[in-house]
């Protein structure tokens, strides 16, 4: 029995054959996995997104941002049983918070709806979580990761903001503003998300450090958005991210022991 499988079993109690689902040739897991997809006018991209999702997923929660195209119908056609939830407010952060509340799985994976994320990578995130990580954080800049979607200005902004977070919060992240992440549901109680926009990933990355959660970076490749236009505006949203960093620095939440994070295959070693 592989050590990863043993770790999944020891975390989850005694092995009951029927409860465990194989998710790769080396790993079977018991915890149900929910995938949350924030989507605003992504009907044309959803076929590419759903095509890559593994069939062993427990549920897909699609958070519709009042789309004016066929996003909801296309999702229902592609994934019978998809849970569609509307959002009260606006923005990606608001959508994710809404989606997390609707999840029933023990593990939650965040996947963008623009075709930029490969669902086949979910197994890497889940493997890290059942092996002991609390938060599996995608990174386009860990060895083995990459991006086909970032402009030079976005790369520069992400790098500078990531360096600030590392310096201010004692993390050793290689990426900051990336939407492909996964975590155990219990993390939500410790990070208490309260934001609306694209700063949501940054807020999560900072609060998991502050909560002393175990973070593991997962090398990930971000593909080009397939159809449609980006909702992100580099300067506007970069400033929102900076504001969150400064707010988190100035508020008095305890900076407990820093997370131990390992970039898989990156040779980086532990994060703290």
Ligand X SMILES: Nc1nc2c(ncn2[C@@H]2O[C@H](COP(=O)(O)OP(=O)(O)OP(=O)(O)O)[C@@H](O)[C@H]2O)c(=O)[nH]1
The footprint of Mg ion (CB under 5 A) covers 112, 114, 116, 225
Asked if residues 97 and 203 have their Cβ atoms less than 8 Å apart, the reply is: no
Residue from 113, 153, 136, 141 nearest 204 by CA: 136
H/E stretch holding 209: helix 200-210
The Cα–Cα gap between 184 and 204 comes to 13
**Phi and psi (nearest 5°) for 83?**
-95, 115
225 or 258, CB closer to Mg ion?
Answer: 225
Asked if residues 222 and 149 have their Cβ atoms less than 8 Å apart, the reply is: yes
> Smallest distance, Å, CB 38 to ligand X?
4
Tell me the torsion sign for CA atoms 103, 180, 97, 53: negative
**Is residue 104 near ligand X by the rule CB under 6 A?**
no
> Smallest distance, Å, CB 13 to Mg ion?
38
**Is residue 65 near ligand X by the rule CB under 6 A?**
yes
> Smallest distance, Å, CB 143 to Mg ion?
22
**Is residue 92 near ligand X by the rule CB under 6 A?**
yes
- What does R_g of the chain's alpha carbons equal in angstroms? 18
Total of residues contacting ligand X (CB under 6 A)? 22
Enter the tokens of residue 239.
Answer: 């400033």
> Smallest distance, Å, CB 87 to ligand X?
6
> Smallest distance, Å, CB 139 to ligand X?
15
Pick one of 4, 63, 82, 211: the residue that binds ligand X (CB under 6 A): 63
37 or 262, CB closer to Mg ion?
Answer: 37
The Cα–Cα gap between 30 and 18 comes to 9
**Stretch touching ligand X by CB under 6 A, among 7-15, 52-60, 187-195, 226-234:** 226-234
Identify residues 180-219 at the interface with ligand X (CB under 6 A): none
The Cα–Cα gap between 225 and 115 comes to 6
**Is residue 236 near ligand X by the rule CB under 6 A?**
no
Shortest-Cβ-distance residue relative to ligand X: 65
34 binds, among ligand X, Mg ion, none (CB under 5 to 8 A by kind): none
175 binds, among Mg ion, ligand X, none (CB under 5 to 8 A by kind): none
Enter the tokens of residue 161.
Answer: 């903001």
**Stretch touching ligand X by CB under 6 A, among 11-19, 39-47, 155-163, 264-272:** 39-47
Coil, helix or strand at residue 194? coil
61 or 129, CB closer to ligand X?
Answer: 61
The residue ranges that bind ligand X (CB under 6 A) are 38-40, 42, 63-65, 87, 90-92, 95, 112-114, 116, 149, 179, 225, 230-232
């Amino acid at each position: 029995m592989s050590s990863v499988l043993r770790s999944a079993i020891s975390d989850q109690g005694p092995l009951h054959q029927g409860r465990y689902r194989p998710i790769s040739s080396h790993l079977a897991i018991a915890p149900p996995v929910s995938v949350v997809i924030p989507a605003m006018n992504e009907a044309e991209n959803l076929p590419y997104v759903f095509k890559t999702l593994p069939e062993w997923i427990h549920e897909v929660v699609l958070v519709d941002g009042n789309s004016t195209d066929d996003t909801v119908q296309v999702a229902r056609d592609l994934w019978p049983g998809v849970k569609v939830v509307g959002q009260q407010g606006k923005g990606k952060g608001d959508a994710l918070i809404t989606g997390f509340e609707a999840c029933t799985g023990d593990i939650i994976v965040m996947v963008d709806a623009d075709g930029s994320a490969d669902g086949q990578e979910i197994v890497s995130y889940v493997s890290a979580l059942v092996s002991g990580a609390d938060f599996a954080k995608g990174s386009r800049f860990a060895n083995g990761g990459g991006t086909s979607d970032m402009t030079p200005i976005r790369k520069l902004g992400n790098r500078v903001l990531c360096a600030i977070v590392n310096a201010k919060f004692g993390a050793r992240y290689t990426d900051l503003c990336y939407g492909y992440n996964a975590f155990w549901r219990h993390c939500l109680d410790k990070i208490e998300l309260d934001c609306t926009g694209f700063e949501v990933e940054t807020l999560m990355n900072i609060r998991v450090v502050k909560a002393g959660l175990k973070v593991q970076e997962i090398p990930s490749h971000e593909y080009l958005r397939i159809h449609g236009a980006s909702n992100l505006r580099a300067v506007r949203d970069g400033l929102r991210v900076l504001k969150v960093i400064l707010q988190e620095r100035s508020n008095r939440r305890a900076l407990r022991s820093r997370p131990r994070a390992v970039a898989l295959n990156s040779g980086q070693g532990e994060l703290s």
